[in-house]
Amino acid sequence: MALKKTGEWQKAFLPDEVDEEFNQAQRRALVLLVRVRDTEVRRLAQDLKSLCADVVQSQGLDASRRAALQMLTAYEELNQRIGVALRDLEDAEMLALG
């Protein structure tokens, strides 16, 4: 991490292998995201994705730390909404089965 070496915040390129893995993960997440029917899950997932990028692309360490804290909150909100959506699906399935 450049911060540890220089004491100054700076954006650094990822090693090629890590960059490729990150891009693949982003593509897989997008494929899954667009398949979700729940609008709120899609919105929260997009918010989380944006905050993840903000952590590494911010202009300074303080901004990166703020984004990281927001990212944790967004992660929790997303997972709570996914839980609600899954329980709703289960309830609908139980009603359909009688």
**Which tens digit of pLDDT belongs to each residue from 26-61?**
888 889 888 999 999 999 999 998 898 888 788 888
Q: pLDDT higher for 10 or 25?
A: 25
Banded pLDDT at 1 (limits 50, 70, 90): low
User: pLDDT over 70 for what percent of the chain?
Assistant: 87
C-alpha span between 3 and 19 (Å, rounded) = 19
What pLDDT, on a 0 to 100 scale, did the predictor assign at position 68? 94
C-alpha span between 95 and 98 (Å, rounded) = 5
What pLDDT, on a 0 to 100 scale, did the predictor assign at position 86? 95
Longest dimension (CA), the chain: 65
What pLDDT, on a 0 to 100 scale, did the predictor assign at position 78? 96
Per DSSP, 14 falls in state P
What does pTM read for this prediction?
0.77
